[in-house]
Chain A
Amino acid sequence: MPAYDSNLFDPPAPVAVVTVRDPRRGSTVRNVPMLIDSGSDVSLVPRTSFDELNLEIDPNAGYELEGFDGRRTMAQVAQLDLIFVEKAFRGKYVIIDSNMGILGRDVLNHVAVLLDGPRLSWHERKDSSE
Chain B
Amino acid sequence: MRKLATYEGVVENGHVTLPPEADIPEKTRVYVLVPDANAQKTYKVMSPRLAHPEQAKDFEKLVIEDITDAGL
Which residues on B sit within 8 Å (CB–CB) of A102? Answer: 45, 47-48
Cα–Cα, bound, A31→B52 (Å) = 31
A40 at the interface (CB under 8 A from B): yes
* B interface residues, tally (CB under 8 Å): 30
- Nearest chain B CB to A74's CB is how many angstroms away? 9
Which residues on A sit within 8 Å (CB–CB) of B59? Answer: 41-43, 91-93, 106
Whether A63 lies near B69 (C-beta < 8 A) is no
B56 at the interface (CB under 8 A from A): yes
Whether A83 lies near B66 (C-beta < 8 A) is yes
Which residues on A sit within 8 Å (CB–CB) of B67? Answer: 86
Which residues on B sit within 8 Å (CB–CB) of A8? Answer: 41-43
Interface of chain A residues 74 through 111 with chain B (CB within 8 A): 81, 83-94, 99-100, 102, 104, 106-107, 110
Name the one of A31, A86, A110 contacting B61, with C-beta atoms under 8 angstroms: A110
Which residues on A sit within 8 Å (CB–CB) of B3? Answer: none
Whether B66 lies near A63 (C-beta < 8 A) is no
Which residues on B sit within 8 Å (CB–CB) of A72? Answer: 51
Interface of chain B residues 29 through 51 with chain A (CB within 8 A): 41-43, 45-51
A66 at the interface (CB under 8 A from B): yes
Whether B48 lies near A83 (C-beta < 8 A) is no
B4 at the interface (CB under 8 A from A): no
